[in-house]
Chains A and B, each alone.
Chain A
Amino acid sequence: MSARIVLQEADIRRALTRIAHEILESNRGAEDLVLLGIPTRGVPLAERLALLITEIAQTAVPVGSLDVTLFRDDLAKHPTRSPHRTDIPAGGIDGKTVVLVDDVLFSGRSIRAALDALQSIGRPAVVRLAILVDRGHRELPIRPDFVGKNIPSSRAERVFVRLTDDDGEEFVSIEGGDE
């Protein structure tokens, strides 16, 4: 069992700053932007991105959370999961540019569930996807629009994201799969 750190705290900060700029560039400003983090670690990431965008564009960006548990197609493969809180900003998502934010993109199934969950809440004009780590192995035709870092991995490996907000320490590491 070996663990190697692939992103340090400063790398994560730089990646998020770049993504904040990219989001503003592709949206041509902060207008109609809504950031929704996918629990658990997508939520603090979305909040940080919102802060960065607010700093850069000098406009407050609404941020919330979108739980996808009740929309997953793999519930029967795990012990019962408790859902997390969904918190949609007051302005809603109708006609907005919604940026979904998650820590790791793997099979793409969480994002599929997130698209279904969005549909029950409203109809955004555009949906984009921002990801801190893309580790490959997609099982669905889903790709991210904004990526912190591409980390090629084997299926046997596990990618861990630790964030100060949740864990008190901050890094991305990759473990296992070294036989």
Chain B
Amino acid sequence: MRHLLDTRTLAREDALQILDIAEDMADAQSRQVRKLPTLLGKTVVNLFFEDSTRTRISFEAAAKRLSADVINFAAKGSSVSKGESLKDTAQTLEAIGADAVVVRHPASGAPRTLATSGWISAGVVNAGDGTHEHPTQALLDAYTMRKRRFGADSRGRDLSGVRVVIVGDVLHSRVARSNVWLLATLGAEVTLVTPPTLIPQDVTAWPARVLYDLDTALAEEPDAVMMLRIQLERMHAAFFPSEREYARHWGLDAARLRRLPEDTIVMHPGPMNRGLEISSDAADSARSTVLEQVANGVSVRMAALYMLLAGERSEPVRTGTGSGTEEFQMNRGDR
């Protein structure tokens, strides 16, 4: 695997391989010495154009536990705020010798541009781009569901027959998009529950069912309920009348929690708006996997970095600073 850009194009075998390797990484995390020498000498750059503490820390922990060197690059306070383009930033990272770039960007598609432009030869991991995808979040969610369902016997299994309800602002959610594609690939049945104003236009092309009423969806006794964060920073228009009304119709409150079957898990990608999309009763209950998701995130990201960096590169290894070499070869071809 060269890059991890989305789950839409992620093959079932690759997804299962990442989840299985994550099991091995989780095992390694339970030993006396948690650090592995696997990526010694590799450099991973966390390139974050959007604020994110959790995802960046998770990637940083993952890279460090595999002995890679980590460079954190936050766009605030960097040359990006002086107007440096993505291309220039990328080429700087190439010159530094980055083997992998973990990128979060407000523009959908920025990681793909970075991966396919020829500016850099490093492997690219999408850590969230605009309203497009957040593949490692979906992988850690799938890992969490699988672990809760099969325990120590998880290796090699997919999510056939698992029924998942995703609730909230699907329109702006890259987490929802990545989950829909990955869960469908792994055989799960996905139901989206969302206010009518927060449904994407192209949703009919997604491998998921859409409902507007949360109570109807919960009455079907799903295996997992995933509450999406209401991204208050993206609520520029009147998508719903008030926060209180949203909580009443689409929030997972104590009463709804009580009606769920005993073994239904409650998931949230964090950070939570307690009292808005999820009540404290739900967030702190034994069914909540919120903290497991965080812990599993490190294992899954270790697996992703391992897939990208440990093996032989599938495409030619760089022999200098990427683009320069290509030009050189083209010139020779011309002669």
A binds B: yes
Q: Is the CB of A71 within 8 A of B31?
A: no
B38 partner, pick from A70, A79, A121, beta carbons under 8 A:
A70
Q: Is the CB of B20 within 8 A of A70?
A: no
Q: Is the CB of B312 within 8 A of A70?
A: no
A39-58: which have CB < 8 Å to B?
none
A67 partner, pick from B24, B37, B306, beta carbons under 8 A:
B24
Residues of A within 8 A of B17 (CB): 82
A69 to B25, CA, bound (A): 11
A101-159: which have CB < 8 Å to B?
116, 119-122
Residues of B within 8 A of A82 (CB): 17, 20-21
A78 to B34, CA, bound (A): 25
B28 within 8 Å of A (CB atoms): yes
Interface centre among A83, A85, A119 (most CB of B within 10 A): A83
> Nearest residue in A to B37 (C-beta to C-beta)?
A71
Shortest Cβ gap from B25 to chain A (Å): 8
Residues of A within 8 A of B1 (CB): 80
B238 within 8 Å of A (CB atoms): no
A82 to B1, CA, bound (A): 12
Shortest Cβ gap from A52 to chain B (Å): 28
Whether A80 contacts B32 in the complex (CB less than 8 A), given A70-B24, A71-B37, A71-B38, comes out as: no
Q: Is the CB of B28 within 8 A of A76?
A: no
Whether A78 contacts B312 in the complex (CB less than 8 A), given A71-B36, A71-B37, A120-B32, comes out as: yes
A71-98: which have CB < 8 Å to B?
71, 75-86
Shortest Cβ gap from B231 to chain A (Å): 35
Shortest Cβ gap from B193 to chain A (Å): 37
State which size class the interface on A falls in.
20 to 34
Residues of B within 8 A of A121 (CB): 31-33
Shortest Cβ gap from A86 to chain B (Å): 6
Whether A80 contacts B310 in the complex (CB less than 8 A), given A70-B38, A71-B36, A120-B36, comes out as: yes
Q: Is the CB of A119 within 8 A of B33?
A: yes
Q: Is the CB of B33 within 8 A of A120?
A: yes
Q: B295-329 interface mask toward A, CB cutoff 8 Å, 1 = contact, 0 = none?
A: 00000000000110011101000000000000000
Q: Is the CB of B307 within 8 A of A80?
A: yes
Q: Is the CB of B36 within 8 A of A75?
A: no
State which size class the interface on B falls in.
20 to 34
Q: Is the CB of B32 within 8 A of A83?
A: no
Q: Is the CB of A76 within 8 A of B32?
A: no
A81 to B309, CA, bound (A): 11
Residues of B within 8 A of A116 (CB): 37
Residues of B within 8 A of A86 (CB): 24, 27-28
Q: Is the CB of B311 within 8 A of A81?
A: yes
Whether A120 contacts B38 in the complex (CB less than 8 A), given A76-B310, A76-B311, A78-B311, comes out as: no
Whether A77 contacts B312 in the complex (CB less than 8 A), given A70-B36, A71-B37, A120-B33, comes out as: yes
B18-46: which have CB < 8 Å to A?
20-21, 24, 27-28, 31-38
> Nearest residue in A to B27 (C-beta to C-beta)?
A86
B37-57: which have CB < 8 Å to A?
37-38
Whether A120 contacts B28 in the complex (CB less than 8 A), given A71-B36, A83-B21, comes out as: yes
Residues of A within 8 A of B28 (CB): 70, 86, 120
A80 to B155, CA, bound (A): 18
A79 partner, pick from B32, B33, B34, B311, beta carbons under 8 A:
B311
Q: A71-B38, A78-B311 are in contact. List 17 more A-B contacts (CB 8 A).
A: A67-B24, A70-B24, A70-B28, A75-B311, A80-B311, A81-B310, A82-B17, A83-B21, A84-B24, A85-B24, A116-B37, A120-B28, A120-B35, A120-B36, A121-B31, A121-B33, A122-B32
Residues of A within 8 A of B (CB): 67, 69-71, 75-86, 116, 119-122
Q: 7 tightest A-B contacts by CB? A: A80-B311, A120-B33, A83-B24, A75-B310, A70-B38, A70-B36, A120-B31
Can you name 27 A-B pairs with beta carbons within 8 Å?
A69-B24, A70-B24, A70-B28, A70-B36, A70-B37, A70-B38, A70-B306, A71-B36, A75-B310, A76-B311, A77-B312, A80-B1, A80-B306, A80-B307, A80-B310, A80-B311, A81-B310, A81-B311, A82-B17, A82-B20, A83-B21, A85-B155, A86-B28, A116-B37, A120-B31, A121-B31, A121-B33
